[in-house]
Amino acid sequence: KTVAIKKSMISESFYRKNFLITGAGGSIGSEIIRQLIEYKPNIVVLLDNNEPSLYKINNELTQQFHEVINFFPLLGDACDKNLILNILKKYNVDYIFHAAAYKHVPLVEKNKLQGIYNNVFSTLNICKASLESNVKKIILISTDKAVRPTNVMGASKRLAELIIQAFENRSYKSEMSHLMKNNHKCFTLVRFGNVLGSSGSV
């Protein structure tokens, strides 16, 4: 069954708001930005540690939309909590789409520790940094491979999901209330299956 998107609700939430997209140069991150543009955001911060990919998406966006949307391409590591916190404060970010991840299963199997570090600790540090900022919502882009994972990539994404769920847990939020500045935050996630045309997928 197809679920109709209530674009009016999205528009009300996203219009003239500030966004951080991690993994902005990737196939998923860049498409999120293209879809987001429809709702006329104010600022979109593009974070990626891959220079060619970041250059490509920034060039595409600025050529088409620079007159109505402010794009800020930033080279950096999503695992760096201080970097994330500085970005959130400098650009007064309202929403985070966390799409940065190592997702090529065979490659992550050969680089297990780096895959775990990147996928798990980027999520943890983004959640921690968000507590010290005015961010309203953090959306983790997860994968169907996190369901009963049979590989390191899937397991690392499942751990990332558990982190998001822990931060959303009310008792945890109560304990961390001194950091939240009375600002409610929503920690959520969505699992993508095989996405046509995406890197490392179909």
Cα separation, 145 vs 105, in Å, equals 9
The tens digit of pLDDT for each residue in 110-119 reads 999 999 999 9
- Nearest 5°: CA angle at 44, between 40 and 48? 145
The tens digit of pLDDT for each residue in 174-190 reads 555 555 555 679 999 99
Task: Confirm whether 145 is a catalytic residue.
Answer: yes
Query: HSE on the CB side for 195, CA within 13 Å?
Result: 17
Rounded to the nearest integer, the mean pLDDT of the chain is 88
The tens digit of pLDDT for each residue in 81-140 reads 999 999 999 999 999 999 999 988 999 999 999 999 999 999 999 999 999 999 999 999
Residue 171 has pLDDT above 50, yes or no: no
Q: Which residues contact 50 (CB under 8 A, 6 or more apart)?
A: 25, 26
**12 vs 189, which has greater pLDDT?**
189
Residue tagged active-site, from 81, 103, 145, 157: 145
